[in-house]
Amino acid sequence: MMCKNCGSSQIVKNGKVNNQQRYKCKKCGKQFINNDNFACMRNKKHIIAVSMDLYYDGLSVRKIQRQISYLFKVKVSQVTIHNWITKYSLLVKEYVDTLKADLSDVWHTDETAIKIKGQQKWFWEIIDAETRFMVAEHLSNTRIIKDSTKLFMDARNRAIQKPNIIYADGCFAYRKGFNKAFYDHHQSCKLVQNVGINGRVHQNKVERLHGSLKDMLRTRRGLDNQTKTKAMLDGWFVYYNFLRPHSTLGGKTPAEVAGINLNLDNRWESLIDLATKWKANNTA
């Protein structure tokens, strides 16, 4: 038997709860019951994982609620489903941010407007041209230098090596953010701006990425909380890179093509298990 929280085998019995044997991990100190649930959760892990898969595949929370009732004969509230999505999207995103991707020499970046509680926000993305891996994403209230700097810094930290070229539109904020993250005296990485439909280089790859995002957002009524929206976008980053197969990649995910193969046979279920153990082993 392995600890649900950290994966350790240093397990001892620790009394019973409702006539169920409780165990304690000598490594992380957490207690758990040996059932088919994530740590500290009442519902079976498969129900939670399927709910997240349906959510990021485009179903509304109301429809997911109906599917859970029909498939698993379990009644859960829409608030509970939202809580699952927020909790595990943040957890898994934190874990995958530690994984390095082997990317190509060409990246594309762009930003798109989304509305939260009627207010316009900006969602920034960088995508690798060859693997289609979303290298970085950033949700902001503004479209200024500090935002592009955050985006480029995150991208630099996630990639094994820098690209040769990053293509962007003419937004003024990109140049200084790029310089802070990538500039060196050897000029091994260049930012090329003002690309578009009439230029030699187009932004079709990142525009398709925006299209996928907008398709997912259409079923998200009432984006009225920036914190929850950020968690949802974090989960979408995970889904797009690690779980969504691409026809242009031969049915593989961008993460697999970028050299990150986590053997996710059970999709979200496997990812959540990996992230939970990573978190327990990296928390003081």
Tens-place pLDDT, residues 97-134 = 999 999 999 999 999 998 888 889 999 999 999 999 99
Instruction: Give the domain range for residue 13.
Output: 1-35
Structure confidence at residue 12 (pLDDT): 85
pTM for this one? 0.86
CATH number, domain of 181, equals 3.30.420.10
Structure confidence at residue 271 (pLDDT): 96
Structure confidence at residue 268 (pLDDT): 96
Domain count across the chain:
3
Judgement on whether residues 166 and 247 belong to the same structural domain of the protein: yes
Query: 35 vs 248, which has greater pLDDT?
Result: 248
Judgement on whether residues 173 and 204 belong to the same structural domain of the protein: yes
pLDDT tens column, 245-275: 999 999 999 999 999 999 999 999 999 999 9
CA distance 189 to 9: 47
Q: DSSP letter string over 87-110?
A: HHHHHHHHHHTT--B---SEEEEE
Query: Which amino acid appears at position 89 of this protein?
Result: S
Q: How confident is the model at residue 222 (pLDDT cuts 50, 70, 90)?
A: low
276 touches 5 (CB < 8 A): yes
Query: 48 vs 18, which has greater pLDDT?
Result: 48
